[in-house]
Amino acid sequence: MKDEVTAFQLGSSTVVTLPKEFGIKPGQRLKIKKDKKQIILKEGKMTEHEIRKLLDSLRVDLHLKPDLTPEEINEELDRRYEEMLP
């Protein structure tokens, strides 16, 4: 396993690629801490409170009709397909 990684610029972000063997999945969140010359990544499990807080921060009110049913969602997609028919 490599014991060195290189940082590079991707758009406005600085990206550090980690060796595959670390098993870090795309989208996985890690806790990060800087300690003098060390940067520590921790695979800490989020608490229920942290998860709730995270989900609240990721919600956006789409102002959809309140009584929207799964059936209506399907019917709308069917309608769109039917409109495309010659």
Partner 1 sequence: MKRCYLDTNLLLYFNNPNSPFYQQAGSILAKLINNNWQLFLSPLTLDEYFHNTLRFTNLPKEKAMKTLKKSLNKLIKLPNIQLINPSTILGTHKKVLNFMIKYQLRSRDAYHLLIMIENKIKYLATFDNDFDKIFEKGSIKKFI
Q: Which residues in 4-14 are b (16+ Cβ under 10 Å) and which e?
A: eeeeeeeeeee
Report the C-alpha gap between 46 and 51 in whole angstroms.
Answer: 6
46 binds partner 1 (CB under 8 A): yes
For residue 59, state whether it binds partner 1 (rule: CB under 8 A). yes
Binding part of the chain for partner 1, among 9-17, 31-39, 58-66 by CB under 8 A, reads: 58-66
Task: Quote the CA–CA distance of 86 and 24 in Å, as a whole number.
Answer: 48
CA 1 to chain centre: 27
Taking CB under 8 A as the rule, does residue 77 contact partner 1? yes
Interface residue with partner 1 among 34, 36, 66, 85 (CB under 8 A) is: 66
Q: List residues near partner 1 by CB under 8 A.
A: 25-29, 45-46, 48, 51-52, 54-55, 57-68, 70, 72-74, 76-78, 80-81
